[in-house]
Amino acid sequence: MGIADAKMVTIIMRRGDKEISLKYPADKLLDDCGHKYNTWWADASGRRELERIFGRSNDEFTPHEVIRITYGRNTIYTSEVKNNG
């Protein structure tokens, strides 16, 4: 199954040392995001959690912040782990 077949996927993103997960429409990930995705399309609970952790003005996320995308029990994307040591 490809990402285009999924309706809503779960995105796990990381900013600094904090992680958050939110549901996001798969088709919006395929759009040309211009280096940022708007959280407008995320589920309401994910938007509230993002606001609670990172502040009200954080209504976007970048592809570089995404560490994993899942659909159901299937992981469909995992970022490369970079070792700084």
Q: Per the domain annotation, does 84 fall within a domain?
A: no
The structure's pTM equals: 0.80
- The DSSP secondary structure of 38-58, one letter per residue, reads EGGGS-HHHHHHHHHHH-TT-
Q: Per the domain annotation, does 66 fall within a domain?
A: yes
Q: Per the domain annotation, does 14 fall within a domain?
A: yes
Which amino acid type is present at position 71?
Y
Q: Per the domain annotation, does 16 fall within a domain?
A: yes
- CA nearest to 12, candidates 51, 65, 48: 65
Q: In the chain, how many domains are there?
A: 1
- Which domain does 18 fall in, by range? 3-78
Rounded mean pLDDT, 59-85: 85
Write out pLDDT tens, residues 6-42. Answer: 589 999 999 889 999 999 999 888 877 678 888 889 9
Q: Per the domain annotation, does 53 fall within a domain?
A: yes
Q: Per the domain annotation, does 85 fall within a domain?
A: no
- The confidence band for 80, taking pLDDT boundaries of 50, 70 and 90, is confident
Q: Per the domain annotation, does 55 fall within a domain?
A: yes
